[in-house]
Amino acid sequence: MSLQATIYLVVGLSFALYIGIAIWARAGSTSEFYAAGGQVNPVMNGMATAADWMSAASFISMAGLISNMGYGGGLFLMGWTGGYVLLAMLLAPYLRKFGKFTVPQFIGDRFYSKSASTVAVVCLLVASLTYIIGQMTGVGVAFSRFLGVSSDMGIYIGMGIVFAYAVFGGMKGITYTQVAQYIVLILAYTVPAIFISLQLTGMPLPQLGLGADLKGTDVSLLMKLDQIVTDLGFGKYTTSVPGSTLNMFVYTMSLMIGTAGLPHVIMRFFTVPKVKDARSSAGWALVFIAILYTTAPAVAAMAKTNLIKTITPGVVMQNADPYGAESQIKYEERPDWMKRWEATGLLKFADKNGDGRIQYYNDATKNAETKAKFDAAGWKGNELTVNADIIVLANPEIALLPDWVIALVAAGGLAAALSTAAGLLMAISSAVSHDLIKNVFVPDISEKGELLAGKISMAIAIVVAGWLGLNPPGFAAGTVALAFGIAASSLFPAIMMGIFSKKMNKEGAIAGMLAGLAVTLFYVFAHKGIFFIKGTEYLDVIGGANSFFGITPEAFGAIGALVNFVVAFAVDKVTAAPPQHIQNMVEAVRIPRGSKAVDGAH
């Protein structure tokens, strides 16, 4: 069987599984549509949460980012895993005890205001729609490479698959589909990593292989990788930190608190029977997430080693001159995997010196001695552009693994993107149908009418998500970090204050959410030159690119969160305190006595 036929078979079987589960788990009530009836087993909910959480960014992009950035890429590991711990410890059990379906509903009831709920819906929609762009783009990338269709067609197919199990199944269908998607994506991530770790180090566990010696040598993988990248003019893989230390710290914080504020993950804790189960499922989800997150650094390092070994063998071979012509392969002799990925546009070659060989190096290196050697060799600049998003997907092809492993990775990448897209669409749908239509515009709507509104909202959300994937806005294309920044600056502070500050009132919460969201979006848009004053960019007015202490737009969410807290408490001080029954409710939620038996219904 050919590689392409194997991919069609494996991906087709995975799609059939998802649709079959959706047919079995159709939602018949609003409780099943929004919260899977609140009866999901904690272990299964942990797997579904892990699939919901580990998006295309985790599966496809994270190892690629670490591979490109080296040590500095650790901020994604620290931010995303740390944020999940924050969510599990500080938010999940309390929100489950509150016993509502959605984050805006919690904010609306806690701050005794439909206006607060509406503002929360706006924040949720901005964050979720920004995030979903990356998922739909990931679907397009995976389909275009593995199924031989255009990325646009890939997005259309992805929309159809999600429609099949999300619109009819709601949270119930999504939950059980995500359990299957987790199994597919974790096998797709770990199986190639085990193969490649055995190839390079002889260690079956990639986590141990990362620190082990390369086969037949007494040099560790990381030491060899440091030597390879420095020979090519890059900074040391194990110590490089892009940007300032302050930016790295703020970026990590933004990812962390943004994670804890993402509504599609928080919603998962409303699907279990009791508060005890919310804590349990949070723990299980962390275990399931850790399997991928502890494997990612090994995948990144091993993929980087194999990539350079393939295209620049002279740098890796002993006693070879890394600056000689023999150190680069001829373009016409490039391996088949490069030809396949060139067709996607994510890998590009430009023969700048006309020698027909692939020069891959850092032509902007600050090392004068290395730069002089590049110039003496007649190189005219780096000739190979490798998109970070192909590292994981191309990894088994680079390592010449069996066709079935390559097909499994294709199914895993699609599972990761589709599972998170479904979770985000569920959050968007419930915010529109439950928090806007039922709670604001049509309070007396019947359960049947609300269920229909939820399904229509889901269908419209899928169309909007697909359109954004086909036409990504310039300010959000290529990154989901902005979504974390938006959630960090708007929703996370409101949820935290709602749980841990019984004196916080509605005026403070609303003002804080609006201020945090506004300052974050202003900084992002100003950085991209979208706002102008008489022909002068706002960015120039505030001092230039990343002018606020060198903080990048993707990292600015933590600053927006600080603004949210400051504004909220300032407004709270000059306005009336919340009613006493609200303060009593907050205290009861925050101190969950007898939580093992609490089901959130009373």
pLDDT at 53 over 70: yes
Q: Do 150 and 282 lie in a common domain?
A: yes
Q: Do 276 and 321 lie in a common domain?
A: no
Q: What distance in Å separates the CA atoms of residue 423 and residue 265, rounded to the nearest whole number?
A: 8
pLDDT of residue 317: 65
Q: Do 347 and 237 lie in a common domain?
A: no
Cα dihedral 128/145/189/24 (nearest 10) = 60
pLDDT of residue 529: 55
pLDDT digits (tens, 9 = 90+) for 314-357: 777 665 666 666 678 889 989 989 998 888 788 899 999 888 98
Confidence band of 310 (pLDDT split at 50, 70, 90):
confident
Section 557-577 average pLDDT: 97
What single string gives the DSSP state of each residue in 14-56? HHHHHHHHHHHT---SHHHHHHGGG---HHHHHHHHHHHHS-H
Quote the crossing angle between the two packed helices 170-200 and 447-470, to the nearest 10°: 40
Section 567-591 average pLDDT: 92
Number of structural domains in the chain: 2
Domain boundary among 445, 473, 501: 473
The type of residue at 55 is S
Domain assignment present for 479? no
pLDDT of residue 351: 92
Q: Do 79 and 212 lie in a common domain?
A: yes
pLDDT at 530 over 50: no
Domain boundary among 367, 388, 409: 388
pLDDT at 171 over 60: yes
The most confident of the ranges 170-184, 186-200, 463-477 is: 186-200
pLDDT of residue 543: 41
Q: Do 145 and 103 lie in a common domain?
A: yes
CATH no. for residue 75? 1.20.1730.10
Query: With pLDDT > 90 as the criterion, what percentage of the chain qualifies?
Result: 33
| Across 234-243, 448-457, 528-537, least confident range | 528-537
pLDDT digits (tens, 9 = 90+) for 184-243: 999 999 999 999 999 999 999 999 999 999 998 889 999 999 988 888 888 889 887 767
Q: What distance in Å separates the CA atoms of residue 492 and residue 184, rounded to the nearest whole number?
A: 31
What's the mean pLDDT when you consider all of the chain? 85
Q: Which domain holds residue 432?
A: 3-305+398-473
Asked if 106 contacts 100 with a C-beta cutoff of 8 angstroms, the reply is yes
pLDDT at 259 over 70: yes
pLDDT of residue 572: 97
H-state helical runs in 440-480: 447-470
Handedness of CA 113, 116, 122, 127 (dihedral sign): negative
Domain assignment present for 79? yes
Domain assignment present for 541? no
Q: Do 462 and 336 lie in a common domain?
A: no
Greater pLDDT, 306 or 526:
306
pLDDT of residue 602: 43
pLDDT of residue 203: 95
pLDDT at 123 over 90: yes
pLDDT at 478 over 50: no
E-assigned strand segments in 465-577: 532-533, 536-537
Asked if 45 contacts 175 with a C-beta cutoff of 8 angstroms, the reply is yes
Asked if 313 contacts 327 with a C-beta cutoff of 8 angstroms, the reply is yes
Query: With pLDDT > 70 as the criterion, what percentage of the chain qualifies?
Result: 91
Closest CA to 78 of 253, 308, 329, 318: 253
Q: Do 152 and 22 lie in a common domain?
A: yes
pLDDT of residue 447: 84
Greater pLDDT, 553 or 528:
553
Domain boundary among 388, 414, 441: 388
Q: What distance in Å separates the CA atoms of residue 131 and residue 437, rounded to the nearest whole number?
A: 23
Q: Do 332 and 274 lie in a common domain?
A: no
Domain assignment present for 515? no
Q: What distance in Å separates the CA atoms of residue 43 and residue 35, rounded to the nearest whole number?
A: 16
Q: Do 248 and 213 lie in a common domain?
A: yes
Q: Do 212 and 341 lie in a common domain?
A: no
Confidence band of 601 (pLDDT split at 50, 70, 90):
very low
| Across 291-300, 507-516, 522-531, 546-555, least confident range | 522-531
